[in-house]
Amino acid sequence: MTLLLLEVAWLALPLLVLSVASMPLTKQLKVAIIDSNPALGRRDCIEKTDLPDPRVSTVTPATISFFKDVGAWDYVQQNRHAFFDKMQVWDYTGLGYTRYNARDVGKEILGCVVENKVLHASLLSCLQKSDFHKTIYPSRLTSMALQSHSKEVESKLPGAKLCDHGSFVKLDLSNGDSLFAKLVVGADGAKSYVRELAGLKTTGWNYSQNAIICTVEHNVENQCAWQRFLPTGPIALLPIGDRFSNIVWTMSPKESSERKTMNEDDFVKAVNHALDYGYGPHPQSSSVSNYGDRLSWLIADMTSSSKECFEVPPKVVKIASERMVFPLSLLHSNDYASNRVVLIGDAAHTVHPLAGQGVNLGFGDATVLSKVISDGISIGSDIGEISLLRKFEAERKPANIMMMALLDGFQKAYTVDFGPLNVLRAAAFHAAQFITPLKKNIISYATGEQKWPLFS
């Protein structure tokens, strides 16, 4: 009865199941997926002519390689997706900007923007095609409890010490079924019920910001990712393909409700205003020759993007989808694992969307967890043992916390409009733009090639 149990198959979770299915040591595990979402059972056909859904994710090259390893990338390539190799980041003060190019680190792409439903469908279709032993329970979890194999054994055990090693988790579902599992993986999002049942505490706070997302259309192709930091929050323009782009605009809750309800033309004007001359001037296209020979030693091997001028993003012509609003917060579970329960993805950590890292952290978790389970099986340990799960935590927690700290730092740094701080931020833009090793470091870290920022 080697059962590995999973909760709510959204994104990180199907990747975990596929990784487990593809490794020789873990192929024989029996997996049950509990998800009350009806779409799970049937194969959703994605019409290529559909307008892009505003819920998109930016997947890093590291995530793309995970997908390729489990064979789920082909489906994505057959549907709408957009690789981008350029990125421009600037702010409203007009004091500086940074342009990134994949060629700076010798790569072809910085990332790929894919609709969430395409990612989901790709993972699910891969799962359905595999002959892995999985059962889907279209129901909701109501309770779970640690249990040991036989009641009489429990009574004979000296003290409570051995009972703590309850050998199964009993899960009760809303349709009356009961399941027994050796390991429960909770991937049920930021408001994780599994986390609540397991009694894992979290730390976090709400950013007093909401994000509006919607799909927009241009007259020209957009192949660059744009992000401008405004006084109330960043606005990001990400290419989705076919002249469509996705807007992620962070602002205060009051403004978000206003902008959600304003008519479409006004919203388009507001977006163009925010991306162009609104709130402040364009940054000067600094050319390095301004600094003369004094900096020639520093800029000896400059990257191509350092020489690029500031560009204005393409104008938005019309909106192509409804506007969705959701609140932003930071959340981190103090422990990712307790006895026989482990959390991955948003259930363990949620971040600000300003760098498009959230879903990639979740995919990273899934890959590492499958590797840890595989290693555990190779040495015959019980997959639900807390010592094994702590290994997963020790691998992922520092990396996740580092990323969260950086993103939180950025978010806080850009919410303050204070003269010297603005100059500091401008200096940071310039540093990232011209100091090649720093730029390479930033790109490698953001694309998932490097585990730690600055120290590789």
Partner 1 sequence: MASKSLKLCRALCNNTQHGRNIFLALSASRASQRIQRRLFSNDPQPDLVDPPSTSPSEKPQSHDTRRNEGGAGRRPFSSSLNDVELAKFSAIAETWWDPVGPFKPLHAMNPTRVSFIRSALCRHFRKDPSSAKPFEGLRIVDVGCGGGILSEPLARMGATVVGIDAVEKNTKIARLHAELDPVTSSIEYCCTTAEKLVEEQRKFDAVIALEVIEHVADPAEFCKSLAALTDTNGATVISTINRSMRSYATAIVAAEYLLHWLPRGTHQWSSFLTPEELVLILQRASISVQEIAGFVYNPLTGRWALSDDLSVNFIAFGTKNMNSQ
The residues binding partner 1 (CB under 8 A) are 1-2, 24-28, 148-150, 153, 156-159, 161-162, 165-167, 377-382, 386-387, 394
Neighbours of 423 (CB within 10 A): 13
Q: Which of 28/174 has CB closer to partner 1?
A: 28
What is the amino acid identity at position 87? Answer: M
Q: Give the containing element (helix H, strand E) for 319.
A: strand 318-319
CB of 422 to partner 1, least distance (A): 41
88: left (phi over 0), alpha (psi -120 to 50) or beta: beta
- Residue 197 makes CB contacts below 8 A (sequence gap 6+) with 141, 143, 144
Q: Which of 198/330 has CB closer to partner 1?
A: 198
Instruction: Output phi, psi for 160, to 5 deg.
Output: -95, 0
CB of 195 to partner 1, least distance (A): 22
Burial class (CB in 10 A: 0-12, 13-18, 19+), 309: exposed
Q: Which of 167/436 has CB closer to partner 1?
A: 167
CB of 124 to partner 1, least distance (A): 26
Which candidate, 226, 446, 296, 228, places its Cα nearest to that of 357? 446
Instruction: Output phi, psi for 260, to 5 deg.
Output: -70, -35
CB of 456 to partner 1, least distance (A): 19
Q: Which of 158/176 has CB closer to partner 1?
A: 158
CB of 196 to partner 1, least distance (A): 25
CB of 207 to partner 1, least distance (A): 34
Q: Which of 24/420 has CB closer to partner 1?
A: 24
Tokens 């730690």, located at residue: 452
| Cα–Cα distance for residue pair 414/411, rounded to 1 Å | 5
CB of 62 to partner 1, least distance (A): 23
Q: Which of 77/167 has CB closer to partner 1?
A: 167
Contact present, 214 and 319 (Cβ < 8 Å): yes
Instruction: Output phi, psi for 63, to 5 deg.
Output: -65, -40
Q: Which of 12/146 has CB closer to partner 1?
A: 146
